[in-house]
């Protein structure tokens, strides 16, 4: 990789996460010699907007990735599997949002606030964790470092956009249909999401959703706690953007909510939003558009020894996907 501004490509530029990568590159003034917008052949010739200008989308092919220093992948696992190794072989770095490389020991899984130094260990591919694993690790790593994490229970409230642009649009359509007194239509998801709460919709692995399996594996890897007991239920809610989670943790010793709050207030990437008396706590609507993980409702959990309860929310498209990927790419440039 050269030391001048990098040549960058974005695979999945038309998707929910990919279009947010464009926005985050712009917001963070990411240094660029060139930016190539790529997607499926369906989108070839369409344009996306970057820094106020139209960028023409091309169908991804190996030749489009030649000479790229950094390639962001946000186009699903099959595309990453096919093209990310080509980027690595060509001397570039693939920053991959899909789950295909996340548990590969040769591929670092990185959240900059949690284990940014792992970026140095890459062999041309770096994995961006799952959109729940990222905010959960940002919120809990500081508490683990300060007090030792012994047990974790999580219930998630995940936005439609986490299921891609198609699910977000389906939710919007259903809201209009419901308001018009029509039966809500359904194409991409097994249930009507509008006016509903769905503890599934992901592929099942035995009794667990694929999402539950991913969050547990990735969270343990990020915090280097391979044996941590974790109980989790992942739930899709009729929200456009912003994943939230109710979290219960057990620590090695007794920790007061004030001590936990103090640690979180000093931690990178976190905003403590915690004054329930004035109805102030994290919500998806408030966190949407933000790059910080919001943490609140910090209180004792009297049902377990050394227990604390918290509520966490993050923009699943930004910190849960695009912002984390762009921060990883910034570290790649810093360490080169």
Residue number, 95 or 270, with CB nearest to ligand A2P = 95
What's phi and psi for 304, nearest 5 deg?
-145, 160
DSSP string, 160-185: GGGG-HHHHHHHHHHHHHHHTTPPPP
| Span of 23-31, 40-48, 110-118, 136-144 interacting with ligand A2P by CB under 6 A | 40-48
The Cα–Cα gap between 319 and 328 comes to: 11
Shortest Cβ distance from residue 13 to ligand A2P (Å)?
6
The Cα–Cα gap between 185 and 118 comes to: 45
Residue number, 7 or 80, with CB nearest to ligand A2P = 80
Does 43 help bind ligand A2P (rule: CB under 6 A)?
yes
Does 172 help bind ligand A2P (rule: CB under 6 A)?
no
Please give the span between the terminal C-alpha atoms of the chain, in angstroms, as a whole number. Answer: 8
Does 215 help bind ligand A2P (rule: CB under 6 A)?
no
What distance separates the 2 farthest-apart alpha carbons in the chain? 59
Shortest Cβ distance from residue 51 to ligand A2P (Å)?
19
The Cα–Cα gap between 91 and 123 comes to: 9
Strands 53-59 and 34-39: parallel
| Span of 143-151, 160-168, 190-198, 280-288 interacting with ligand A2P by CB under 6 A | 160-168
**Which residue in 122, 103, 156 sits closest to 331, CA to CA?**
122
Among 39, 131, 239, 298, binds ligand A2P (CB under 6 A): 39
* Structure tokens belonging to residue 55: 């960028």
Active-site residue among 122, 144, 194, 243? 243
Active-site residue among 68, 131, 144, 294? 131
Among 23, 40, 233, 290, binds ligand A2P (CB under 6 A): 40
Does 75 help bind ligand A2P (rule: CB under 6 A)?
yes
Does 85 help bind ligand A2P (rule: CB under 6 A)?
no
Residue number, 43 or 153, with CB nearest to ligand A2P = 43
Q: How many residues line the site for ligand A2P (CB under 6 A)? A: 19
**Catalytic (active site) residue 151:** no
Residue number, 85 or 148, with CB nearest to ligand A2P = 85
Does 307 help bind ligand A2P (rule: CB under 6 A)?
no
DSSP-based three-state secondary structure for 45: coil
Shortest Cβ distance from residue 8 to ligand A2P (Å)?
16
Residue nearest to ligand A2P (CB): 15
Does 14 help bind ligand A2P (rule: CB under 6 A)?
yes
Does 166 help bind ligand A2P (rule: CB under 6 A)?
yes
Does 81 help bind ligand A2P (rule: CB under 6 A)?
no
How far CA 73 is from CA of 13, 94, 107, in Å, comes to 9, 7, 15
Residue number, 9 or 39, with CB nearest to ligand A2P = 39
**Catalytic (active site) residue 64:** no
DSSP string, 112-150: HHHHGGGGGG-SSEEE---TTHHHHHHHHHHHHHHH-EE
DSSP string, 298-336: EEE-TTSTTEEEEEEEE-TTIIIIIHHHHHHHHHHHHH-
The Cα–Cα gap between 130 and 260 comes to: 25
* Sites of contact with ligand A2P (CB under 6 A): 11-18, 39-40, 42-43, 60, 75-76, 79, 164-166
Q: Which residues are catalytic?
A: 131, 243
């Amino acid at each position: 990789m050269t030391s001048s501004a990098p040549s960058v490509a974005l695979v999945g530029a038309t998707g929910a996460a990919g279009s947010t990568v464009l926005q985050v590159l712009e917001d963070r003034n990411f240094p660029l010699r060139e930016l190539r917008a790529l997607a499926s052949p369906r989108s070839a010739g369409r344009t996306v907007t970057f820094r106020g200008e139209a960028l023409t989308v091309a169908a991804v092919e190996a030749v489009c990735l030649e000479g790229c220093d950094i390639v962001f992948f946000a186009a699903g696992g099959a595309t990453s599997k096919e093209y990310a190794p080509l980027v690595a072989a060509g001397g570039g770095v693939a920053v991959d949002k899909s789950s295909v490389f996340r548990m590969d020991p040769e591929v670092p899984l990185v959240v900059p606030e949690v284990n940014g130094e792992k970026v140095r260990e890459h062999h041309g591919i770096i994995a961006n964790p799952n959109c729940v694993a990222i905010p959960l690790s940002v919120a809990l790593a500081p508490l683990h470092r300060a007090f030792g994490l012994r047990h974790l229970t999580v219930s998630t409230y995940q936005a439609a956009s986490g299921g891609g642009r198609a699910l977000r649009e389906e939710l919007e359509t259903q809201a209009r249909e419901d308001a018009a007194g029509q039966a809500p239509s359904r194409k991409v998801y097994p249930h009507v999401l509008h006016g509903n709460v769905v503890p599934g919709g992901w592929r099942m692995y035995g009794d667990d959703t694929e999402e539950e399996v991913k969050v547990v594996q990735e969270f343990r890897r990020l915090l280097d706690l391979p044996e941590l007991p974790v109980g989790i239920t992942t739930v899709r809610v009729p929200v456009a953007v912003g994943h939230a989670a109710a979290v219960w943790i057990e620590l090695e010793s007794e920790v007061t909510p004030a001590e936990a709050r103090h640690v979180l207030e000093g931690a990178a990437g976190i905003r403590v939003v915690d004054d329930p008396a004035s109805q102030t706590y994290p919500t998806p609507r408030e966190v949407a558009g933000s790059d910080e993980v919001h943490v609140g409702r910090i209180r004792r959990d009297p049902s377990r020894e050394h227990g604390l309860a918290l509520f966490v929310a993050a923009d699943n498209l930004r910190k849960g996907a695009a912002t984390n990927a762009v921060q990883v790419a910034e570290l790649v440039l810093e360490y080169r």
